[in-house]
């Protein structure tokens, strides 16, 4: 399992993933993404220095996307998000490995102080996963996103470098075991 930088040839599969019901139900919008809209978005993310996108690969196959955005060198912080598009790998630990790798990248390579994220409140599994990695709930944007005519709250979460350093000795062995298991599957 690894993260690799997105490439131009990933454009259409990413649009397909973003339009899939399993992915779009957790996104802020639920509009069908047209080729034209996706083309503009894809061009922007390839050229925007305030974000980085990766394809999540498992057994040499693209299975999802991870990104950091709103990168602030000055404030040593950014936001992140990810999704596993391939239903065949959900629940196997791939998401946990992705979370670990992003945290490691942000705190150990970029040397940032803070990593933030926002999660739709009904996505309780993701909220719990983030909490297990040391993220703290910092707020709730009430009725912040309207999907399908229904308003939803958004949970604001973040982890600080000191939180990461504190939880790393507990998390690292778990991730190593998950990686070993994923290699055997």
Structure confidence at residue 91 (pLDDT): 87
Start-to-end CA distance of the chain, whole Å, equals 12
| Tokens read off for 174 | 């778990």
Please determine, for residue 38, whether its predicted confidence score (pLDDT) is greater than 80.
Answer: yes
Global model pTM greater than 0.85: yes
Residue with tokens 């809209």: 37
| pLDDT at position 32 | 94
Question: Using one digit for the tens of pLDDT, what is the confidence trace for 87-129?
Answer: 999 889 999 999 999 999 999 999 999 999 999 999 999 999 9
| pLDDT tens profile 53-74 | 999 999 989 999 999 999 999 9
Least confident span in 153-157, 172-176, 181-185: 181-185
pLDDT 10s digits, 163-172: 999 999 999 9
133 contacts 165 by C-beta, under 8 angstroms: no
- Asked if pLDDT for residue 35 goes beyond 90, the answer is yes
| CA contacts within 13 A on the Cβ side of 12 | 1
Euclidean distance between CA atoms 103 and 174, whole angstroms: 15
Which domains occur in the chain, in start order? 2-184 (3.40.630.30)
pLDDT of residue 103: 98
Query: What are the tens digits of pLDDT across the range 67-94?
Result: 999 999 999 999 999 999 999 998 899 9
C-alpha angle 146/22/30, rounded to 5°? 25
Q: Between β-strands 114-120 and 2-5, what pairing exists: parallel, antiparallel or unpaired?
A: unpaired
């Amino acid at each position: 399992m690894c993260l690799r930088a997105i490439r131009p040839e990933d454009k259409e599969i990413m649009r397909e993933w973003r339009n899939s019901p399993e992915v779009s139900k957790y996104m802020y919008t639920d509009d069908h993404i047209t080729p034209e809209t996706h083309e503009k978005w894809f061009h922007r993310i390839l050229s925007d220095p305030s974000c980085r996108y990766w394809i999540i690969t498992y057994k040499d196959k693209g299975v999802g996307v991870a990104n950091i955005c709103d990168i602030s060198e000055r404030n040593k912080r950014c936001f992140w998000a990810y999704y596993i598009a391939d239903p065949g790998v959900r629940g196997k630990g791939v998401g946990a490995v992705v979370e670990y790798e992003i945290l490691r990248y942000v705190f150990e390579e970029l040397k940032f102080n803070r990593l933030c994220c926002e999660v739709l409140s009904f996505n309780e599994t993701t909220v719990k996963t983030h909490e297990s990695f040391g993220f703290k709930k910092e707020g709730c944007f009430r009725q912040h996103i309207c999907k399908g005519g229904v308003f939803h709250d958004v949970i604001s979460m973040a982890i600080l470098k000191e939180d990461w350093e504190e939880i790393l000795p507990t998390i690292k062995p778990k991730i190593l075991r998950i990686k070993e298991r994923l290699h055997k599957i």
